[in-house]
C-alpha cells in the first residue's frame, strides 16, 4: 500500500506487441508481393466487315513473322531462331529504302525492304496451336527491337537512353521516330 502511493504504476504495454504481431502476421499471410508487370499492347477496334489492309501496304514494307503450332518461326519466308529475330527486325525498320530518313544510321538501303520507319509494319501471325509462352517471347523481341532503336537514337541526339529522358516533348519525338507498328493477323488453324 505504501509503495503505490510513492510512484504511479506504468501501464503494461507488453501485450501491445502481441496484438501488433497478430495483425502483422495476418497481413503477411493475406497479401501478395508481386507487382503487376507485363507487356502493354493495344488491340485494334473490332470491325464487323474487316477490310484487307494488307493490300494497301506495299509488300516490301511488311515484315512478316509467322509462328507455327510447333513454335517455330518463319520470318520473311525464312526459318529463323528467336535469338536472331531482334536483329532482323531492327534491320528491317531502319532499312531506309527511300533514303528520306535522316536518322536511320546503318540502314542497309535494300530496295526490297522497308521504305522508312514510318512505313514499316511488323505483321505477326500465329497458329491456334502456338504456345502462349512462345507468342510472348516473340512479342517481347519485337517490342525490344523498337526499344533498342529508340534508345540508340536517344543516345545519339541527347546522350541519354530513352527511358532516362524526362522532357515529354523529347520522349514524344523519339517515340514518333520509331513508332511501334505491330499488326496481328487472324491466326491460322493448321495442325492442332
- In the list 1, 44, 78, 168, the residue contacting other proteins (rule: CB under 8 A) is 44
Among 73, 143, 174, 182, binds other proteins (CB under 8 A): 143
Distance of alpha carbon 170 from alpha carbon 175, whole angstroms: 8
29 Cα distance to chain centroid: 32
Q: Which listed residue (88, 130, 149, 153) binds other proteins by CB under 8 A?
A: 130
**What is the distance between the alpha carbons of residues 185 and 96, in angstroms, rounded to a whole number?**
25
Cell of 120: 514499316
Residue 177 CB: number of other CB atoms within 10 A?
A: 17
Could you tell me if 110 and 167 are in contact, meaning their C-beta atoms sit under 8 angstroms apart? no
Q: Kindly tell me which of 23 and 112 has the beta carbon lying closer to other proteins.
A: 23
75 - beta bridge partners? 65, 78
**Cβ-count burial of 153 within 10 angstroms (0-12 exposed, 13-18 middle, 19+ buried)?**
buried
Q: Is 30 in the site for other proteins (CB under 8 A)?
A: yes
Cα separation, 75 vs 7, whole angstroms: 86
Among 36, 52, 59, 167, binds other proteins (CB under 8 A): 36
Binding segment for other proteins among 87-95, 96-104, 142-150, 164-172 (CB under 8 A)?
142-150
CB of 168 to other proteins, least distance (A): 16
Compose the 62-101 pattern: x for residues touching other proteins by CB under 8 A, - for all others.
---------x---------xxx--x---------------
Count, residues in the chain = 192
Is residue 2 at the binding interface for other proteins, with CB under 8 A as the rule? Answer: no
Residues that bind other proteins (CB under 8 A): 13-14, 16-17, 19-21, 23-24, 27-28, 30-33, 35-46, 71, 81-83, 86, 126-133, 135-137, 139-141, 143-144, 147, 186-187, 189, 192
Amino acid at each position: 500500500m505504501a509503495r503505490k502511493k510513492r510512484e504511479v504504476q506504468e501501464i503494461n504495454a507488453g501485450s501491445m506487441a502481441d496484438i501488433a504481431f497478430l495483425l502483422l502476421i495476418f497481413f503477411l499471410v493475406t497479401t501478395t508481393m508481386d507487382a503487376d508487370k507485363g507487356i502493354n499492347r493495344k488491340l485494334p477496334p473490332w470491325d464487323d466487315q474487316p477490310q484487307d489492309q494488307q493490300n494497301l501496304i506495299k509488300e516490301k514494307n511488311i515484315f512478316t513473322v509467322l509462328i507455327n503450332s510447333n513454335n517455330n518461326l518463319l520470318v520473311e519466308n525464312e526459318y529463323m531462331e528467336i535469338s536472331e529475330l531482334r536483329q532482323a527486325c531492327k534491320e528491317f525498320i531502319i532499312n531506309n529504302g527511300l533514303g528520306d530518313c535522316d536518322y536511320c544510321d546503318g540502314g542497309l538501303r535494300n530496295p526490297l525492304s522497308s521504305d522508312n520507319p514510318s512505313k514499316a509494319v511488323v505483321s505477326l501471325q500465329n497458329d491456334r496451336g502456338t504456345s502462349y509462352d512462345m507468342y510472348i517471347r516473340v512479342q517481347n523481341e519485337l517490342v525490344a527491337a523498337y526499344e533498342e532503336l529508340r534508345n540508340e537514337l536517344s543516345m545519339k541526339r541527347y546522350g541519354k537512353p530513352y527511358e532516362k529522358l524526362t522532357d515529354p516533348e523529347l520522349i514524344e519525338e523519339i517515340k514518333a521516330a520509331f513508332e511501334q507498328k505491330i499488326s496481328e493477323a487472324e491466326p491460322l488453324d493448321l495442325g492442332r
